[in-house]
Amino acid sequence: MEKPPGSPGAPPGQRETAPATAEDVLAVYESLLVSTRTMLSRAKQGDWDALMERESRYVIDVEELVRLERNVVFDEQQRNRKADLLELILDNDIKIRNHLLARRDELGAMIGVNRRKSSLNRTYGPADAPAAPADGSADDS
């Protein structure tokens, strides 16, 4: 028998939760700021796998924030705090994006070099192949 929404043991999507407060929402913004700092650190270190893993979680957290923030009313101090947090988050986001763009350019250059090498190998043969004598004769000794 299925449990009614709001009762203990009901599926997560059916549990009733208390409405989020402005402080709850600000705590999520604080958490997002910490996440962007971590992601920026990973980007600076070139730890791309860890960055992408963290970024996947970040997207989920942002979606949750959108849901939580509905119908929340902020007082002036809370609005100012939210604006400050958003500014810091967006600043980190720009820095992360710049590192990602630099990495994309680096990978693009590496791909270009590999394509040129492949093209040269198809045209002239591998660079480590023995060179044929200039006079066309083979050394049969």
Write the CB contacts of 132 (distance below 8 Å, at least 6 apart in sequence). 138
Structure tokens at 98: 């710049």
Compute φ and ψ for 49, nearest 5 degrees: -65, -45
Of 89, 80, 21, nearest in space to 58 by CA? 89
Query: What confidence tens digit (pLDDT) does each residue in 7-63 have?
Result: 444 444 444 567 899 999 999 999 999 999 999 999 999 999 999 999 999 999 999
How far is residue 15's CA from residue 4's CA, in Å, rounded to a whole number? 9
How far is residue 65's CA from residue 24's CA, in Å, rounded to a whole number? 10
CATH no. of 19-113 = 1.20.58.380
The residue ranges of every structural domain in the chain are 19-113
What pTM value is reported for the model?
Answer: 0.66
